[in-house]
């Protein structure tokens, strides 16, 4: 079978490997249909993901058809269309005991720490599999994982109906956060520097968009929120100053949700946190968001038109990565197809 593998930083190839077998009784074998390319996959390709080890079959956003099931697997039939939750956790450490396997002490993410979904067939634990509702196409289903990241940011920020939410950055993650915040009943403001991205955000339900290049973000946000500031700010820009600005701009009793893996230090005065009693939280991967997103999609609540920028056959995988690299400002999601 064909696999897409980053052999070492900078070297991405299609290689051959034997089809894996179900050996654990609670595993399933999946014929992969689609794999989404994430910003983090590009980082793995370029050797800029601190968690990745090599060689690595990339891909944590993938869907496919179950072709074999282990002897003790329940509730999943051969032929089922599924999405795979790409995280493996111990279930025993402190974080896991709080129901937060996404930050497990021994967390393993498929496509990062262990081999991922860019292979024709993959064996995964049945516990990591979510069966898709019938009407969902592969091209829709491959977007479930990215939407769980936005859903997690909204969940971590405890977005409540009637809240003002500021989403900083209208890239893929910012857009998923926008759509999930709208579903939570918030009024959503989206900021970016690229007009086309803001136009798309508007078409996805953003109540207000602000181009921070042309307008004073703080002043405009204050105006929209009646002087209060957003109740929740989701930082999907992820640079030194965006985190600083998020703390500055967020309302009293507000929440700042940070999505950055940046190692560069921001400068934040504690008084800005304490005087407003801000809650500042990280949002990493997701916990229990797959059923939430799947249910929203099933009910047709998440419009996905235009979300996929381009689909490449597996044979053109390297070209697909180059396309994402060269069109970073305009790409929403590029997908590899195994059909």
Contacts with Mn ion, residue ranges (CB under 5 A): 38
Question: Which residue lies nearer to Mn ion by CB, 38 or 126?
Answer: 38
* Shortest-Cβ-distance residue relative to Mn ion: 38
Q: How far is the CB of 172 from Mn ion (least distance, A)?
A: 8
CB of 31 to Mn ion, least distance (A): 21
In whole angstroms, the minimum distance from the beta carbon of 38 to Mn ion comes to: 3
Q: Which is nearer to Mn ion, 225 or 286 (CB)?
A: 286
**Residue whose CB is less far from Mn ion, 49 or 250:** 49
Give min distance, CB of 118 to Mn ion, in A.
Answer: 13
Residue in the block written with tokens 């997690």: 152
Q: Which is nearer to Mn ion, 38 or 188 (CB)?
A: 38
State the minimum distance, in angstroms, from the CB of residue 163 to Mn ion: 25
Q: Which is nearer to Mn ion, 244 or 323 (CB)?
A: 323
Are 86 and 35 in contact, with CB atoms under 8 Å apart? no
On the CB side of 52, how many CA atoms lie within 13 Å of its CA?
A: 26
Q: How far is the CB of 282 from Mn ion (least distance, A)?
A: 16
CB of 46 within 8 A of CB of 9? yes
**Whose Cβ is closer to Mn ion: residue 38's or residue 189's?**
38
């Amino acid at each position: 079978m064909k696999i897409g593998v980053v052999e070492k930083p900078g070297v991405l190839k299609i290689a051959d490997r034997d089809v894996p077998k179900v050996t654990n009784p609670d595993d399933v074998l999946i014929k992969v249909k689609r794999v989404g390319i994430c910003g983090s996959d590009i980082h793995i390709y370029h050797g800029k993901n601190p968690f990745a080890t090599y060689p690595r079959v990339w891909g944590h956003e993938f869907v496919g058809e179950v072709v074999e099931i282990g002897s003790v697997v329940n509730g999943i039939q051969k032929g089922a269309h599924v999405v795979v939750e790409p995280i493996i956790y111990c279930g025993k450490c402190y974080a896991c005991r709080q129901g937060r396997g996404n930050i497990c002490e021994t967390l393993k993410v498929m496509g990062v720490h262990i081999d991922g979904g860019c292979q024709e067939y993959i064996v995964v634990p049945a516990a990591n599999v979510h069966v898709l509702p019938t009407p969902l196409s592969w091209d829709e289903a491959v977007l479930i994982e990215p939407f769980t990241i936005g859903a997690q940011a909204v969940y971590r920020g405890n977005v409540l109906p009637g809240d003002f939410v500021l989403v900083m950055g209208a890239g893929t993650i910012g857009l998923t956060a926008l759509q999930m915040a709208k579903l939570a009943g918030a009024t959503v403001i989206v900021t970016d520097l690229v007009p086309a991205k803001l136009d798309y955000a508007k078409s996805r339900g953003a109540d207000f968009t602000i181009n921070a290049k042309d307008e004073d973000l703080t002043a405009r946000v204050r105006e929209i929120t009646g002087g209060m500031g957003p109740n929740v700010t989701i930082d999907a820009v992820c640079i030194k100053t965006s985190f600083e600005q998020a703390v500055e701009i967020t309302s009293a009793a507000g929440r700042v949700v940070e999505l950055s893996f940046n190692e560069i230090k921001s400068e934040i005065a504690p008084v800005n946190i304490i005087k407003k009693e801000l809650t500042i939280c990280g949002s990493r991967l997701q916990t229990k968001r797959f059923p939430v997103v799947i249910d929203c999609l099933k009910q047709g609540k998440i419009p996905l038109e235009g979300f996929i920028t381009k689909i490449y056959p597996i044979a053109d995988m390297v070209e697909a990565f180059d396309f994402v690299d060269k069109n970073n400002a305009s790409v929403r999601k590029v997908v590899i197809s195994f059909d």
